[in-house]
Amino acid sequence: QKIIVMGLGYIGLPTASMLATKGHQVLGVDVNAQAVDIINSGRIHIVEPDLDILVKSAVNSGNLKASLTPEEGDTFILAVPTPFKEVDGNPKAPDLAYIETATRAIAPFLREDNLIILESTSPVGTTERVQEIIVAMRPELAGKIHTAHCPERVLPGQILRELVDNDRIIGGTTKAAVAKAKALYKTFCNGAILETDSRTAEMSKLVENSFRDVNIAFANELSVICDHLGINVWEAIALANRHPRVNILQPGPGVGGHCIAVDPWFIVASAPAQSRLIRTAREVNDAKPDWVIAKVKAKAARFHEPVIGCLGLSFKANIDDLRESPSMDIVHHLHQSGIGKIMACDPNVRKEKAPFALYDLKTVIKEADILLLLVDHEEFKDIDPQVIKDKVVIDTKGVLR
Ligand code: SAJ
């Protein structure tokens, strides 16, 4: 069949190329002309292991093409971002503008019996909203198209493996939509395909990321409590996790990325009075960078113009992604606060990508009075405790134990 994929980012591009290598005719559509050109030349514009190989073979096979505009097809997949924005005094309301724009862009090309799949993480009711927009623009298609929500669940850094191996939720607005979507995902997904309605599918995706956020908030709160009590939080958590029914995640400098720090707000926005725990967890995680900054300032006050070595800038370990990174926010703040000389280091980040000077690990370790570890990159795990024994160490990830 012919598939149109709207959005060629971290989800759309892997999905489009995977479908193309399984023999489907795929047209990937993106508003970024540069990305379209790069993909059509068989290369990629984002960083993800092995994606370059997959895209190259999909483009070379003739089954994957990229374009700025959609065409007619059998199935349309929406894989565009869903950030938040301020609406009526709520600073964290879901921003559906990308989904609405993509839906309006495909509406003129839709035919009877087409399937429209929403993959973007979305507030409850968005799949129905997509259908409403289409029917408002094309009233003759009322009751004649199929819509479904099949939320993406892949972990950046392991997208290709998880795209194939993860179980997949399919929530249709009708039974026929579920059956059609199921047949499509079966062509590349080895995991179980779980059927439900679109609203439950939307909620289950938000629940997955909120579960993780609440669990990390618990760990972050424990880290602040243990710091107050002079207890090593990592040891306490590791010991508690030896109980067969306890599984606490790891504390850190805060929660970053475009998913876990965003999606819980979609639940809060749709049921504010009922979402007390989810909201508080978000607030706990968002407050963690300030706690780390206060800690550094307290230690720095003991020195005259200290050198503060900051280890790690990305939003999590072993990636180069700086967007929505609590570590970046912390280092930015320290730079502006004028409390000393800030020397940041991240072995995964190219020097020209950072808005301030980056130093190599050896230099930072040698010159720092205070070492602030912010990301648990592999490279930092090899730091010899003997070499840093005379420094003040603030370890937000428990790596330098
Ligand atoms: N983090 C901690 N402690 C932990 C685990 C993570 O502080 O124990 C922090 C990380 O450092 C990072 C943030 O949380 O700043 C998020 O990282 P992550 O690895 O938990 O998740 P993401 O944002 O890379 O991807 C998540 C995944 N969701 C779940 O694991 C439930 C992924 O499967 C989703 O597809 C993705 O969100 C998404 O697109 O929604």
Q: pLDDT, tens digit, for every residue of 135-150?
A: 999 999 999 999 999 9
Each residue's pLDDT tens digit, 56-87: 999 999 999 999 999 999 999 999 999 999 99
Minimum CA distance residue for ligand 1 atom 3 = 250
Cα(217) to ligand 1 centroid in Å equals 12
Active site residues: 205, 259
**What tens digit of pLDDT does each residue of 299-318 get?**
999 999 999 999 999 999 98
Q: What is the pLDDT of residue 319?
A: 85
Token pair in block for residue 401: 């134990």
* Ligand 1 pocket member 236 (CB < 6 A): no
What is residue 5's three-state secondary structure? Answer: strand
DSSP 76-137: EEE-----EEEETTEEEEE--HHHHHHHHHHGGG--TT-EEEE-S---TTHHHHHHHHHHHH
Per-residue burial over 65-96, b if 16 or more Cβ lie within 10 Å, else e, is: bbeeebeebbbbbbbbbbebeeeeeeebbbbb
216 lines ligand 1 (CB under 6 A): yes
With a 6 Å cutoff on the Cβ, whether 155 touches ligand 1 is yes
Question: Other CB atoms closer than 10 Å to residue 242's CB: what's the count?
Answer: 7
CA separation for the pair 325, 264 (Å, rounded): 17
State the Cα–Cα distance between residues 292 and 281, nearest whole angstrom. Answer: 17
Ligand 1 atom with the smallest distance to the CA of 213 is 14
The Cα–Cα gap between 121 and 267 comes to 11
With a threshold of 0.95, tell me whether the complex ipTM lies above it: yes
pLDDT of res. 207: 98
The residues spanned by each domain of the chain are 2-191, 207-395
Residues of the chain falling short of pLDDT 50 = none
240-268 pLDDT, tens per residue?
999 999 999 999 999 999 899 999 999 99
Q: Which of 120, 158, 259 to mutate to test the pocket of ligand 1 (most atoms within 8 A of CB)?
A: 259
Mutate to test the pocket of ligand 1, among 260, 266, 291, 377 (most ligand atoms within 8 A of CB): 260
- What percent of the chain has a predicted confidence (pLDDT) above 70? 100
Fold of 2-191: Rossmann fold (3.40.50)
Cα 284 to Cα 236: distance, rounded to the nearest angstrom: 20
Q: Reduced to 3 states, what is the DSSP secondary structure of residue 207?
A: helix
Identify the residue whose tokens are 């795209």: 163
User: Is there an atom of ligand 1 within 6 Å of 156 CB?
Assistant: yes
The CB of 212 under 6 Å from ligand 1? The reply is yes
Q: Whose CA is nearest to atom 25 of ligand 1?
A: 155
Class of domain 207-395: alpha beta
Give, in order, the Cα–Cα distances in Å from 141 to each of 3, 134, 204.
Answer: 19, 8, 29
- Ligand 1 centroid to 230 CA: how many Å? 28
Q: What is the pLDDT of residue 293?
A: 98
pLDDT at 106: 98
Q: What is the reported pLDDT for 34?
A: 96
Do 2-191 and 207-395 fold alike per CATH? Answer: yes
DSSP, res 389: T
Binding site membership of 213 for ligand 1 (Cβ less than 6 Å): no
